[in-house]
Amino acid sequence: MSAEAGCILILGTRNDPHVDRVASKLEQQRVPVIILDYQDGTMFSLYFSDDSCYIEVGGMFLPENYIVWNREKIIPGTPGYKFFANEKEVYWLAQEWKALFKLISGLNGSRVINSLSSRLCMIKPYQQKVAARAGFKTPTSIVTNSIDSITTFLGENKGGTIIKSLSGGRNRAFNDEGEEYFHQVMTMQVSEADFEDASSEDLVCSPNFFQCEIEKEFELRVVFVGSKLFSFKIESQVHSLTKVDWRKGIGFLDFTPCELDESIKVKINDFMDEMGLFTGSLDLLVDKHGDVYFLECNQDGAWLWLDDIVSGEISDSFSLALSNRLKSILPK
């Protein structure tokens, strides 16, 4: 690897098919790629001297010019988490690798795709405030553990109320045999009767994230890469199982490529620009009147099955965008 060519450092694992697909296309373009792979025993060292830091991966020091793609997906209950076979120390091992990747991201600032600063607050209500400034409609929301506030909010939303996870994390649970497992917390409808059945202790012990329910016509999944958009229409209202949360039907729903209005494209670009995100997967809904509502953006959202639908165009754009970002920092 020549110092003049620079390189792309990927934080993650080649066992992540997103990493493998993009890295393979970069390698086909003869773009130097180094993967700091936490699953294949890759050796690495970070050397600190005064205000300098040198990074060695797989026996090679990174050249002066490089960029970083942090594709860390060490999430409880996923294959990336289950890789750590030592059940007694899995939490500790996962946290140490996550800390390493966060350290490298912090050290490299704007070199990082979706920099550490852009990830400081990806919580949905914060995103919705940014989206509103970009011109999007957003659902009326409340985050509270106040029973009086919840009662008032439910009473005011005659069209229905939904509850979501504020953190977007996975819930740790145990089966009848006492075995630990993790599950995704889906969006759920909640009624005044559900609220009355809940104990006050359950409601007060943590923040609760409620939104007024918007009557949907259909939903949109939009993958943003660099400045390129790939949008897909989701007919989530056709099936009762997916009316509230389309993720329950990811195995059977159709995701149809579609074109967005220019006004929506501008709003997405403005949102991503203010958030400082190079890439992300956005969830939007279209109501019965044709109005588009912003729901959320996942900076590391999965898109591989969508890439298959468009014959690899997303991963092509991803590899090209990374290559162009690297070229932009190389000496002229």
| pLDDT at residue 44 in the model | 97
Q: 37 lies in a domain? A: yes
| pLDDT at residue 174 in the model | 76
Phi, psi of 226 (to 5 degrees): 65, -105
Q: Stretch 209-217: mean pLDDT, rounded?
A: 96
Q: What is the DSSP letter of 237?
A: G
Domain end call among 164, 184, 212:
212
261 and 238 share a domain? yes
Cα 224 to Cα 113: distance, rounded to the nearest angstrom: 13
Q: 228 lies in a domain? A: yes
206 and 236 share a domain? no
On average, the pLDDT of the chain sits at 91
| pLDDT at residue 186 in the model | 87
| pLDDT at residue 169 in the model | 74
56 and 106 share a domain? yes
158: helix, strand or coil: coil
**CATH code of residue 206:** 3.30.1490
97 and 24 share a domain? yes
177 and 75 share a domain? no
144 and 207 share a domain? yes
15 and 106 share a domain? yes
240 and 271 share a domain? yes
More confident residue, 18 or 89: 18
Copy the structure tokens of residue 143.
């985050």
| pLDDT at residue 125 in the model | 95
Q: 318 lies in a domain? A: no
Q: 131 lies in a domain? A: no
Range of the domain at 87: 7-119
Return the residue matching tokens 């860390």: 72
β-strand pairing of 255-258 with 228-234: antiparallel
The answer to whether the CB of 11 falls within 8 A of the CB of 101 is yes
| pLDDT at residue 62 in the model | 96
Domain end call among 170, 195, 212:
212
Q: 110 lies in a domain? A: yes
Q: 276 lies in a domain? A: yes
Per-residue pLDDT tens over the stretch 127-177: 999 999 999 999 999 999 999 999 999 999 888 999 999 988 777 777 777
Burial of 246 (0-12, 13-18, 19+ CB in 10 A): buried
| pLDDT at residue 263 in the model | 97
Per-residue pLDDT tens over the stretch 13-58: 999 999 999 999 999 999 999 999 999 999 999 999 988 999 999 9
81 and 147 share a domain? no
65 and 169 share a domain? no
Cα 328 to Cα 332: distance, rounded to the nearest angstrom: 9
Phi, psi of 15 (to 5 degrees): -70, -15
| pLDDT at residue 14 in the model | 94
204 and 231 share a domain? no
225 and 151 share a domain? no
Cα 56 to Cα 122: distance, rounded to the nearest angstrom: 31
The answer to whether the CB of 223 falls within 8 A of the CB of 301 is yes
104: Cα separation from own chain's centroid: 19
What percent of the chain stands above pLDDT 90?
72
* DSSP letter string, 58-91: TTEEPPSSEEEEE-----TTSHHHHT---TTTHH
| pLDDT at residue 83 in the model | 65
Domain end call among 161, 192, 212:
212
Q: 317 lies in a domain? A: no
Per-residue pLDDT tens over the stretch 259-301: 999 999 999 999 999 999 999 999 999 999 999 999 999 998 8
Q: In this structure, which long-range contacts are made by residues 83-91, counting pairs with CB atoms below 8 Å and at least 24 apart in sequence? A: 83/13, 83/15, 83/38, 83/39
Q: 52 lies in a domain? A: yes
Cα 221 to Cα 232: distance, rounded to the nearest angstrom: 5
| pLDDT at residue 240 in the model | 94
Cβ within 8 Å of residue 71, ≥6 positions away: 10, 11, 12, 16, 18, 19, 300
Q: What H or E segment, with its residue span, contains residue 209? A: strand 208-212
| pLDDT at residue 5 in the model | 79
Structural domains counted in the chain: 3
Cα 1 to Cα 56: distance, rounded to the nearest angstrom: 13
